[in-house]
A = this chain, B = another copy of it.
Amino acid sequence: MVFHSLNEEDKATLGAMVSTDRFSTGSSNLDLHSRDMSRHRPRRPEAVIWPVDRKEVSHILKFAFEKNIPVTPWGAGTSLEGNPIPVEGGIVLNFNRMNRLLRLNKDDFQADLEPGMVYKELNRQLRHTGLFFPPDPGADATIGGMIANNASGTRTVRYGSTRNFIKRLVLVMANGEILEIGNRASKSSSGYDLINLFVGSEGTLGVVVEATVRLVGIPAEIACALATFKDPSSAAGAVFELMRSGIDPAALELLSTECIELINREKGLGLEELPTLFIELHGPTSSQLAGFMEIARELCQGEGCLGFRPGVERGERDRLFEARYALGETITQAHPGHRRITIDVAVPISAYPEMIGFAREAAAGVKEAVFYTFGHAGDGNIHLVFSAPARAEKVWDEIEEVNGKVVARALELGGTATGEHGVGIGKARFMPAEHGASLELMKQMKGLLDPKGILNPGKIFP
């Protein structure tokens, strides 16, 4: 695919489609939209546009489609696999001016949102309604970015990933056409499901300009415990038992010793420096949760738990989860001059202990890098983070080899190359192994919906 580079006339035309303060070709803006939070090579777009409504988006795409100009939608730029890096240049559409809660329908537990809304801001605005939007990827992720990536987080183990919360989408297609899909009923058997095709498509099939999301009642009671283990495998064994038990955890996070040491040092948390599970339960009454926590204690002790501390109060709980959300960034800050990679695989829960063991053993073979393992354990999701000097090419080659081994093992175990970070640039090479012949079908879908390949080119497909 040969794309068209923006000339002065194109820039004038695009600039005239929006107000002048919402079109930029300035270096600092181009730099800001050249990289996400991953290790992937930055690439500047040729222009950044901040649309304010679907009509502007439609006009821009119609023009780009005619001229063969790449268009990459941009949320908060907090992706971890290079998902929004405009590798072919062209236009970045930054949605942070389309960030409103358009309509709250409390009675139906639904909200209509613009894609640039940050999910934390949504939950802040909802806080007096008794409702919340559960997917919590951390950082300042926007709803549009979360839809693009099918984002998930600590509470996904109970509530589901972003996919499970999208009722209706308004999209601008590659040619500028505006399309509305889905409905507001709680279920439907009407025609092909298009919603799920767009959720997780990383902006490569269409651009979301409005979403109706499902909301959930804030739980009446929350309980939190910390459990420590002698080694990560015992902790992973406890995860398996907890998931089988029916206590339905609302969060079940595993942090290895090196993660606990790091957050003790950087955040002053004073935790015992051992492999640790954060266990959160949601429920209607504190007595039910106390009973469930007792079950959790017994199961953890059955796996050789060294310490089990229930009754973690709200203040400490908030600090723990903040530290967990910030862990990636904390690792980066702790290693100046380093680059970081997060290997994000997920496996069936019965294979979790094996996967953790395999990942740590493979990682230990890279002598000149430091590594951390943590993850949304209840989902069978592991994050293996390496940090190594940015220019140590040989070390990075070894890390990439471990990346390949870990993904291959996850696939053998029935899992997936990416539990939540998406494919972007970094995971594209694993797509043939994961999807086999169905990758061809995905390519055909891409060809059908974006025949000129202008939407976020260079992603997902190797």
Contacts of A350 in B (CB 8 A): 105, 107-108
Contact yes or no, B185 A107, CB < 8 A:
no
* A148, closest chain B residue (CB): B189
Of B152, B156, B199, which contacts A193 at CB under 8 A? B199
Separation in Å of the A453 CB from the closest CB of chain B? 15
Contact yes or no, A346 B415, CB < 8 A:
no
Contact yes or no, A348 B380, CB < 8 A:
no
User: Are A200 and B189 CB-contacts (below 8 A) given A108-B350, A441-B179?
Assistant: yes
User: Are A416 and B185 CB-contacts (below 8 A) given A192-B205, A193-B163?
Assistant: yes
- Bound complex: CA of A411 vs CA of B182, how far in Å? 11
Number of interface residues of A (CB under 8 A): 83
Contact yes or no, A437 B177, CB < 8 A:
yes
User: Are A441 and B349 CB-contacts (below 8 A) given A187-B379, A200-B189, A416-B188?
Assistant: no
This chain's copy number in the assembly:
2
Tell which of A40-48, A63-71, A119-127, A427-435 binds the partner.
A427-435
- Bound complex: CA of A417 vs CA of B244, how far in Å? 38
Contact yes or no, A346 B186, CB < 8 A:
yes
Judged by a CB distance under 8 angstroms, whether A20 is at the interface is: no
Judged by a CB distance under 8 angstroms, whether A311 is at the interface is: no
* Contacting residues of chain A (140-189) with chain B, CB-CB under 8 angstroms: 149-152, 156-157, 161, 163-164, 177, 179-181, 183-189
Contact yes or no, A191 B442, CB < 8 A:
yes
Contact yes or no, B348 A186, CB < 8 A:
yes
Judged by a CB distance under 8 angstroms, whether A438 is at the interface is: yes
Contact yes or no, A442 B185, CB < 8 A:
no
User: Are A179 and B284 CB-contacts (below 8 A) given A189-B149, A189-B422, A191-B460?
Assistant: no
Contact yes or no, B441 A194, CB < 8 A:
yes
Interface string of A229-272 (1 = CB under 8 A from B): 00000000000100010100000000000000000000000000
Contact yes or no, A190 B442, CB < 8 A:
no
Of B181, B196, B197, B246, which contacts A220 at CB under 8 A? B246
Contact yes or no, A423 B348, CB < 8 A:
no
- Bound complex: CA of A179 vs CA of B442, how far in Å? 12
Of B152, B183, B291, B420, which contacts A414 at CB under 8 A? B183
* Contacting residues of chain A (91-135) with chain B, CB-CB under 8 angstroms: 105, 107-108, 110
User: Are A244 and B418 CB-contacts (below 8 A) given A193-B200, A435-B191, A441-B194?
Assistant: no
Separation in Å of the A264 CB from the closest CB of chain B? 30
Judged by a CB distance under 8 angstroms, whether A292 is at the interface is: yes
* Contacting residues of chain A (42-100) with chain B, CB-CB under 8 angstroms: none
Contacts of A287 in B (CB 8 A): 287
- Bound complex: CA of A179 vs CA of B436, how far in Å? 8
Contacts of A416 in B (CB 8 A): 183, 185, 187-190
* A430, closest chain B residue (CB): B190
- Bound complex: CA of A439 vs CA of B181, how far in Å? 9
Judged by a CB distance under 8 angstroms, whether A421 is at the interface is: yes
- Bound complex: CA of A217 vs CA of B246, how far in Å? 7
Judged by a CB distance under 8 angstroms, whether A288 is at the interface is: yes
Judged by a CB distance under 8 angstroms, whether A333 is at the interface is: no
Interface string of A282-304 (1 = CB under 8 A from B): 00110110011000000000000
Contact yes or no, A190 B107, CB < 8 A:
no
Judged by a CB distance under 8 angstroms, whether A342 is at the interface is: no
- Bound complex: CA of A222 vs CA of B213, how far in Å? 30
| 6 A-B pairs with the lowest CB-CB distances in the bound complex, closest first | A196-B196, A184-B414, A107-B350, A188-B416, A185-B346, A108-B348
The 8 sampled A-B contact pairs (Cβ below 8 Å) are: A110-B348, A150-B189, A179-B438, A183-B416, A185-B415, A185-B416, A186-B381, A441-B449
Q: Which residues of A contact B (CB under 8 A)?
A: 105, 107-108, 110, 149-152, 156-157, 161, 163-164, 177, 179-181, 183-197, 199-201, 205, 217, 220, 240, 244, 246, 284-285, 287-288, 291-292, 346-350, 379-381, 410-411, 414-423, 427, 431, 434-439, 441-442, 444-446, 448-449, 460
